[in-house]
Structure 1
Amino acid sequence: MAKVHFIAIGGSVMHQLAIALRNKGYQVTGSDDEIFEPSRSNLARAGILPATLGWDPERISADLDAVILGMHARADNPELLRARELNLKIYSFPEYIYQESLHKTRAAIGGSHGKTTITSMIMHVLQQCRLKFDYLVGARLEGFAQSVNVTDAPLIVCEADEYPASALEKRPKFHFLHPHIAVLSGIAWDHINVFPTFSNYLEQFAIFLRTMEPGGKLIYNHTDETLRQLVEKEGTHLECIPYGVPEHTILNGHTRVRFGNASTDLMVFGEHNLLNIHAALLVCRALGVGDIDFLAAIATFKGAAKRMELVVKDEQTAIYRDFAHAPSKVKATIQALRNQYPERKLVAVLELHTYSSLNAGFMTEYKGALDPADVAAVFYSGHALEIKRMPYLEPDVVRNGFARKDLKILTDRQALERFLDQQDFTNTNLLLMSSGDYEGLNLTELKKYLTVQKPQ
């Protein structure tokens, strides 16, 4: 029985891997200096919640087969130092995933946007087709108990993130997966705290392509000019399969997609999701799933958590929330809702919450992003700036960056609530975009904005 110890076991994805290995029959231990919900309850149910918080070198013994290092752990962590003294095998999360999948077919879904959704679509279809597979995805998905699963299945589908792997390993996570089948959905500069220039960011995708084995399948969005040029330069050793927006129709708020002679209505919408579906179809096709079976399964896909998620609706009003925060994601999400309901007014609120989005020098990347909305607002809090130790962000810098003179700037939750209270939501959609929570805005209370029918 393999014996594995997690340093910083409480991470949102790290604890899911720990549970998956425990379910596989491994002996799993872990440590952390803070563990929040839902990680704490999940670990407790699995019987691997650390008895005490904090770091203790005595937890590290010579008989460990692997030590897995979370992003939260620093280079001077006492348990890590002990593991290095004992010459134990130390892995970042993606390095360990690769070790567990050496004898599997590996499919990796990368790109600046759409990774979670494409991965979720593939998982949904494979599950509907009753195929055995392992997975790694960055969101909660209906029908799956956890976001990471590692078994003896012959296939693994991984969301391939470009963020650094660990405190020791600064290279991007997706460099360690070495997939047989890969998707690149597009390239748009993000994570400027890690990749200070666009050329530095672009190089990470070039490395990803160069390190794929010759003959591997690369499924890429040919409508992205930057990506297309990169693939032409770096993908000559690969089987490159381009994709774009498939044939489709939109009628009365419903989207129908067609591939060849087969078509189906969808529960998701937007040009970005049509691109995502095309990528997922090509991956599933490479894995032996027929197009008819794919369409039958994708028709029931509701989306990943917080991805164009319907909060509440009635006949005249719909309220959606979405994880969009980077410029390319914001543009795609807002355009999708605009196109799906062209006759409705659109009110859009974007929270700036990430390091990149709160950076004054990055603000011009958002130019025009909120233009499709009839009413647009940007929300950010002083608390978010304090946590990231960033300077005050002038409202005019934000307004000029988005290049929209009538943009409402809101800097506390009370101002946001007043803004929403002032809107007329008759024949209107509200779109809330954020990777945060608007300083604790209660989404269940948003139902009060639904149109109230007048008594006869």
Structure 2
Amino acid sequence: MRIHFIAVGGSAMHNLAIALKQKGHVITGSDDAIYEPSRTRLEKYGILPANMGWYPANITSDIDAVILGMHARADNPELLKAKEMGLKVYSYPEYIFEQSRDKVRVVIGGSHGKTTITSMILHVLKESGRSFDYLVGAQLEGFETMVKISDAGVIVIEGDEYLTSPIDRRPKFHLYQANIAVISGIAWDHINVFPTFENYTDQFKNFLQTIRPGGTVIYNQDDAVVQKIVDESAIDVSKKGYSLASNYIADGVTYLKTPDKDLPLQIFGKHNLYNIEAARHVCAELGISDEQFYNAISSFKGAARRLELLGKTEHTAVYKDFAHSPSKLKATIEAAKQQFPDRELVAVIELHTFSSLNRDFLKEYHGSMDLADTAVVFINRHTFEQKKMEPYGENVVKEAFGNSKLNFFNNNEILVEFLSSINYKGKNLLLMSSGDFGGLNLVQVAERALETVDKR
């Protein structure tokens, strides 16, 4: 087939383009801007557009399908021509579903933990020698792409609740029609699309309705909101709740208590112990025994940017994390403090998403950094301009977080100076953002922090 991607540079889009190229399809694409790592990876596979921009001439009658990315606009010239010519236009969730109609579809939903749970399942299936397809929202060690489409009988999908495409306002995870579904937790996010908590919660109620009759929903029964919507849903599926995995921490290592032995893990945090239980239940549905699961999960190192270790010494560790919403921020700080109770924590969050920058939503962060010994909030001053939002300053942020000792910066050079002034002996540094701190090289920030331990 010949398939054309509009907005091919997106994270999921470029991975799907590569996966289909590897499957033998003829792939073309367009975008108005493509950044790393998408650019290098598209170039490697011969899919990088020769010129940036939208060109109606790219749309020809021999194209079998057009896949539309969220980055494109509804008035995109290539999209308009494709519709005028009567070509089949898919969003990438629609295309994933079309390619997996005859597979067992595992869909991981929830406000947090989706990428990690999906990654855990993929890791266990791979270690167990199973054949499977997947769609995951992060680059994983041992996996060349974030998407795989083959003849496997199972596909594991990270089920994002954000919108499908510029012309399809449904949440992505409504389109997959799961045979096995997971809801990891519900905490309000995406205020630009779901203006109230009730509206946001409704998306998960609707997700339950999309599960195939006779299927299974695996859910966090310790989340009161999740438990309530599962209890109230009249659906013909098996309902299986999970709780926190039994564990303890010793010498900076988390141990999982299993029927046979206490298992040291390479990851940590209460949220990850919940994620392990969700993954274990899914793997059981796929025929993986608990013994196989535990043997495999002990070597799981985590997904990229999820408490990812940037460097450490005997007295200090530096992590980066994707945390950006209030619930993720609080859980990640809590995890770092519980894992290293004898170390102080310097926690830095960049507010980057539309929701996190929204002045009305900002109060949802109240108390979320209270466990940090040094709390830092960074907002790139240009982000307000890019998102066409009214800027605000330090006092608004401190009041919203309910933390008068909080440090606020809107210039990344001054932020680096502040972080470099700290002696990190006996301290950990946690850098959290779904953005890039205005282009900071976080590896260099980590190196400078670790140098202070030896020099002072």
For the 8 Å contact 2:377–2:406, the answer to whether it is kept is yes
Contact 1:209/1:235, CA 8 A, preserved across alignment: no
C-alpha distance in 2, partners of 1:96/1:356? 28
1:75/1:167 contact within 8 Å kept: yes
Name 2:150's counterpart in structure 1: 151
The aligned residue for residue 22 of structure 2 is 23
1:188 aligns with 2:223: no
* Runs of 4+ that moved beyond 6 A: none
Question: Counterpart of 1:404?
Answer: 403
Using a 3 Å threshold, how does the CA distance of structure 1 residues 443 and 48 change in structure 2: closer, same or farther?
closer
Deviation, 1:130, is 1.2
User: Amino acid of the residue matched to residue 267 of structure 1?
Assistant: Q
- Give how far 1:378 is off: 0.8
Find the counterpart in structure 1 of residue 70 from structure 2. 71
Q: Deviations over 1:100-144 (max 9, x none)?
A: 001111001110000011111111111111111111111111000
- 1:98-177 maps to which residues of 2 (within 5 A)? 98-177=97-176
1:387 Cα shift?
A: 0.8
* Counterpart code for 1:65: D
Please name the residue that 1:246 is paired with: 245
Give the residue type in structure 2 aligned to 1:207: N
Q: Identify unmatched segments of 5+ residues in structure 1.
A: none
1-structure distance, mates of 2:277, 2:170: 29
Letter in 1 for 2:359: A
Provide the rounded CA distance (Å) in 1 between the counterparts of 2:453 and 2:166.
53
**Deviation of the 1:363 alpha carbon:** 1.1
For 1:313, the equivalent position in structure 2 comes to: 312
Q: Which residue of 1 aligns with 2:448?
A: 448
- Give, in whole Å, the separation in 1 of the partners of 2:170 and 2:229: 19
> How many residues align structurally?
454
Structure 2: give runs of 5+ residues left out of the alignment. Answer: none
Q: Which residue of 1 aligns with 2:286?
A: 287
Say whether the 8 Å CA contact 2:424–2:453 is kept in structure 1. Answer: no
CA shift, 1:235, in A, is: 5.2
Q: Distance in 2 between matches of 1:181 and 1:262?
A: 29
Q: Secondary structure at the match of 2:140?
A: coil
**Distance (Å, rounded) in 2 between the aligned partners of 1:239 and 1:357:** 36
Return the alpha-carbon distance in structure 2 between the equivalents of residues 275 and 71 of structure 1: 31
Scaled by the length of structure 2, the TM-score of the pair is 0.96
2:80: which partner in 1? 81
Q: If the length of structure 1 is used for normalisation, what is the TM-score?
A: 0.96
Tell me by how many angstroms 1:453 deviates: 4.5
The AA in structure 2 aligned to 1:448 is R
Aligned-pair distance for 1:436? 1.5
Q: Deviations over 1:313-360 (max 9, x none)?
A: 111111111110000000110000111111111111111111111111
CA distance in 2, matches of 1:235, 1:185: 20
Moved more, 85-94 or 170-179: 85-94
Question: How far apart in 2 are the matches of 1:383 and 1:183?
Answer: 37
Alpha carbons 1:113, 1:185 under 8 Å: kept: yes
Q: 1:170 to 1:385 in 2, by over 3 A?
A: same
Quick check: 1:6–1:70 contact (8 Å CA) kept in 2? Answer: yes
Alignment of 1:292-307 (within 5 A): 292-307=291-306
> Which letter does structure 1 place at the counterpart of 2:221?
H
Deviation at 1:262, TM superposition (A): 4.8
Other structure's SS at 1:360 match: coil
**Matches for 1:227-238 after TM superposition, within 5 Å:** 227-234=226-233, 236-238=235-237
Give me the identity figure in percent: 53
Cα distance change of structure 1 residues 437 and 33 upon mapping to structure 2, 3 Å threshold:
closer
